[in-house]
Amino acid sequence: MSKRVCVITGSSSGIGAASAILYAQQGWDVCVNFSRDENPAQEIAEQCRSYGSNVLVEQADVAEDSQCRRLAQNVASHFGRCDVLVNNAGTTKFVALADLEGLSAVDFQQIYAVNVIGAYQMIRALLPLLKLQLGAGIVNVSSIAALIGSGSSLAYVASKGALNALTLGLARALGPEVRVNAVAPGMVDSPWLKKGLGSERFVALKSSYEESSALRSIVTPSDVAETIYWLGAGAAKTTGEVHVVDGGRRVGRA
């Protein structure tokens, strides 16, 4: 019997890369996706292969439906199956929440195109393959930004709220065949925030985050990958949920 297959969008870096490696370590075959930079995707693919995984590396911008459909077709011809889809690819623009003039309609549209419509398009493209597998799962990578009303920009916050709503609606629509859940990470130690904020602001935010969180900790890509793995491969009776992994940031400290 062929191994189970997981497709992870945006898996050349950060949370997506840690998830691809974890699925490979657990004996799955994986599709590693990137949109711009192939080299890091090939490096992650090599790491996955070192655990015996059959790896397909696919360039596709999830905002482009034709590229989502091409990826799904290539997964079908390469593996002949897909058991789990992780919609991890995301984008943002760093604009202070109070700076309403700093965020245009085009910014909203570009962020929604990847964070919301991209996830929808990937699900639509892979659904026929997912439906063939008993216990198939979809995991959408959201953010606590949607739950606390704060993050890199209002457009990002709203896009992750929309992704949570999409998760709930699709959990209804795709049951009983396919489970649909989301993970909502807090501040993650990945290139995303370091690039977006610059290293000085990143270090300052990290220390205030640690100070105000119950577990006194930011989150690593591997922490999020653990939950992504559980929601995809296990969690047989869980659907429509948004699972927070934030080091206790929302809980706060006594």
Provide the Cα torsion 53, 58, 64, 70; round to 10°. -90
> Hey, how many other C-beta atoms are within 10 angstroms of the C-beta on 149?
12
Helices 38-49 & 14-25 angle (0-180, nearest 10): 20
Residues whose CB falls within 8 Å of the CB of residue 41, separated by 6 or more in sequence, listed in order:
11, 12, 32, 33, 34, 57, 59
Per CB under 6 A, the list member of 8, 22, 24, 114 interacting with ligand NAP is: 114
Size of the site for ligand NAP (CB under 6 A): 32
Give the interface segment with ligand NAP, choosing from 71-79, 165-173, 190-198, 227-235 (CB under 6 A): 190-198
Residues 4-23 that bind ligand NAP (CB under 6 A): 9-16
Per CB under 6 A, the list member of 5, 7, 30, 33 interacting with ligand NAP is: 33
- Residue 185, preceding bond cis, omega within 30 degrees? no
Binding to ligand NAP by residue 90, rule CB under 6 A? yes
Q: How far is the CB of 237 from ligand NAP (least distance, A)?
A: 25
**Among this protein's residues, is 156 annotated catalytic?**
yes
Binding to ligand NAP by residue 149, rule CB under 6 A? no
Please report, as a single letter, which amino acid is at residue 192: W
Annotated catalytic residue, options 112, 156, 209, 229: 156
Binding to ligand NAP by residue 167, rule CB under 6 A? no
The pair of structure tokens assigned to 194 is 């370091």
Q: How far is the CB of 253 from ligand NAP (least distance, A)?
A: 20
Binding to ligand NAP by residue 61, rule CB under 6 A? yes
Binding to ligand NAP by residue 198, rule CB under 6 A? no
**How buried is 210 (Cβ within 10 angstroms: 0-12 exposed, 13-18 middle, 19+ buried)?**
middle
Q: Which is nearer to ligand NAP, 36 or 237 (CB)?
A: 36
